[in-house]
DNA sequence: GGCTTTACACCTAGGTGCGAACTT
DNA sequence: AAGTTCGCACCTAGGTGTAAAGCC
């Protein structure tokens, strides 16, 4: 994922569906992004692989993206697809825009947090998400990504250009379309567009309903990861 | 003010400052728009006057614009200028976009409502604002306006074009600039840009602080009103 | 005739990857 | 050499009044 000083959106954006909440209870929904491991990576061009290049840089200030619809009732949250498209990433450790601060060339994983309103007193954009009763975190293996300041991998660049409306200006209309389609197809998880994963109980919430967290519009290992290296172009 | 089927913003937008709230109490802030009288108007071109043209049309469905930052603490509300720039007006009585429905060729006045959160259970975008304990309404004589579907008055058109960034394409750069400035100047209330008006007590709120509602960026009788007819161009 | 609707050119505001320049 | 920064052309998305057409 591209990170810049000014802040850059993620593409694709994380989108999520939640069920199993108490319809009449108020919740905050938030996202943070945590390191996958303690390593720094570099992209080895000739082998088309990300390889360990030492230990991770020193930790960055904690940041939390609180979904702008927060707080809202369980009913409201469950009725919609919850999109994190306004979340921005930065590599500026002195950022004062409330963006999520990350190191380049590291691997990260977004986490979705569901926080009962009465347990959210400590929730802040610049403090770690509180844990305990009434707070639950979810993460998805297919949303791991690697941060970069410039793409390392032509397939990913093509994928971004072809799927992101804001990059339309870089498409070579028509030509190479087949290559792209094939690339997309090579990710089994790209379809179907709506997945369902288990949503474990939130402490303090009635347990009788099934609890699912659905991610719609996959956000897979899309970004400069070796598994994206296919035989295409 | 222009109203359309699809919905049109007000320009200038209503902007307001509030003080005297309980910093730790939660409030909703909302706006509705009420008729000034029971009349319908028409613009008489040769005399440059709005004149009564019969009784008002039948009432429209009630709509309330709930400020998107709602609910928030008194501290949060008081720290910022509260802008209603996303509010939209429509003449479509069947509107389902949550816009405020008005009749064309009528006079209206916006009202700002401050609602203690625990008194806001009945607050809804499609019901009249509740009244009673913990709810307070404010309105300002200089914000009265007349609705139109097309401007009736060249001075107002010029004012809109020159002050609204989105209408820049219609400015004749440089030429007639003097005429516009003089027109603006002719409204004493245009400067200073921040006014202070008395904010009466909200029932149930401690009374010890001075209570002001400040309107910044005047929203005066800007729209097709006879007082805007000056000697300029 | 008076008012409303519609498509439109022209803006603001801001999200893209690019490629040259810069840094280390 | 490898990674980062910056200005940019090119988009999306949507807010303006206009002028012609439509409505009653």
Query: What is the C-alpha to C-alpha distance for residues B90 and B99, in angstroms, rounded to an integer?
Result: 6
Confidence check: pLDDT of B182 > 70 = no
In this structure, is the CB of residue A167 within 7 Å of any atom belonging to strand C? yes
- Tokens encoding A30: 């938030």
- Tokens encoding B121: 């259970």
Over residues A171-200, the pLDDT tens digits come to: 976 434 333 443 443 333 333 233 332 233
φ and ψ at residue B74, rounded to 5 degrees: -55, -40
Over residues B140-151, the pLDDT tens digits come to: 777 888 999 999
How much of chain A, in percent, has pLDDT values that exceed 70?
74
Helix (H, G, I), strand (E, B) or coil at A82: strand
Find out whether the peptide bond into A192 is cis, omega within 30 degrees of 0: yes
Say if residues A19 and A211 touch (Cβ distance below 8 Å). Answer: yes
Say if residues A195 and A214 touch (Cβ distance below 8 Å). Answer: yes
Say if residues B108 and B144 touch (Cβ distance below 8 Å). Answer: yes
Over residues A84-110, the pLDDT tens digits come to: 999 999 999 999 999 999 999 999 999
**Confidence grade of residue A219 (pLDDT, cut at 50, 70, 90):** very low
Q: Which CA-bearing residue is nearest the C1' of D12?
A: A166
- In terms of pLDDT, which residue wins out, A213 or B59? B59
Say if residues B15 and B217 touch (Cβ distance below 8 Å). Answer: yes
In this structure, is the CB of residue A164 within 7 Å of any atom belonging to strand C? yes
Cβ atoms within 10 Å of B110's Cβ, excluding its own: 23
In this structure, is the CB of residue B5 within 7 Å of any atom belonging to strand C? yes
Q: CA–C1' distance B146–D18 (Å)?
A: 21
Say if residues A119 and A70 touch (Cβ distance below 8 Å). Answer: no
pLDDT at B159: 84
Q: Which nucleotides of C are covered by protein (CB under 7 A)?
A: 2-6, 9-20
**Confidence grade of residue B219 (pLDDT, cut at 50, 70, 90):** very low
Cβ atoms within 10 Å of A154's Cβ, excluding its own: 11
Find out whether the peptide bond into B192 is cis, omega within 30 degrees of 0: yes
- Tokens encoding B59: 């009432």
User: In the complex, which nucleotide's C1' lies nearest to the CA atom of residue A88?
Assistant: C15
pLDDT at A207: 34
Over residues A41-53, the pLDDT tens digits come to: 998 888 888 899 9
pLDDT at B173: 61
**Helix (H) or strand (E) run with residue A78 in it:** helix A74-79
Euclidean distance between the first and the last CA atom of chain A, given in angstroms as a whole number = 21
Query: What is the C-alpha to C-alpha distance for residues A38 and A55, in angstroms, rounded to an integer?
Result: 6
**Helix (H) or strand (E) run with residue A182 in it:** helix A177-185
Q: CA–C1' distance A156–D10 (Å)?
A: 20
Cβ atoms within 10 Å of A79's Cβ, excluding its own: 12
Q: CA–C1' distance A133–D12 (Å)?
A: 42
Q: CA–C1' distance A86–C24 (Å)?
A: 33
User: In the complex, which nucleotide's C1' lies nearest to the CA atom of residue A5?
Assistant: D5
User: In the complex, which nucleotide's C1' lies nearest to the CA atom of residue B165?
Assistant: C12
**Confidence grade of residue B80 (pLDDT, cut at 50, 70, 90):** confident
Confidence check: pLDDT of B212 > 60 = no
Picking from A91, A89, A87, A88, the residue whose alpha carbon sits closest to that of residue A104 is A91
Q: What pTM did the predictor assign?
A: 0.79
């Amino acid at each position: 994922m591209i990170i810049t000083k000014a802040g850059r959106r993620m593409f694709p954006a994380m989108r999520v569906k939640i069920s199993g909440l108490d319809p009449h209870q108020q919740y905050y929904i938030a996202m943070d992004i945590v390191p996958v491991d303690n390593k720094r990576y570099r992209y080895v061009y000739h082998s088309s692989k990300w390889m360990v290049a030492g230990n991770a840089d020193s930790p960055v200030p904690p940041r939390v993206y609180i979904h702008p619809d927060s707080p809202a009732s369980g009913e409201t949250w469950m009725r919609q697809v919850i999109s994190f498209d306004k979340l921005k990433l930065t590599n500026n450790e002195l950022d004062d825009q409330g963006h999520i601060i990350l190191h380049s060339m590291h691997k990260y994983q977004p986490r979705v947090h569901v926080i009962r309103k009465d347990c959210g007193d400590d929730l802040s954009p610049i403090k770690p998400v509180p844990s305990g009763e009434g707070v639950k975190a979810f993460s998805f293996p297919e949303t791991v990504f690697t941060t970069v300041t410039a793409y390392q991998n032509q397939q990913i660049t093509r994928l971004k250009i072809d799927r992101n409306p804001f990059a339309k200006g870089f498409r070579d209309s028509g030509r190479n379309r087949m290559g792209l389609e094939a690339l997309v197809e090579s990710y089994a998880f790209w379809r179907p567009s709506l997945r369902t994963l288990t949503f474990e109980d939130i402490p303090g919430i009635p347990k009788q309903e099934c609890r699912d967290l659905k991610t719609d519009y996959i956000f897979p290992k899309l970004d400069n990861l070796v598994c994206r290296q296919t035989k295409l172009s």
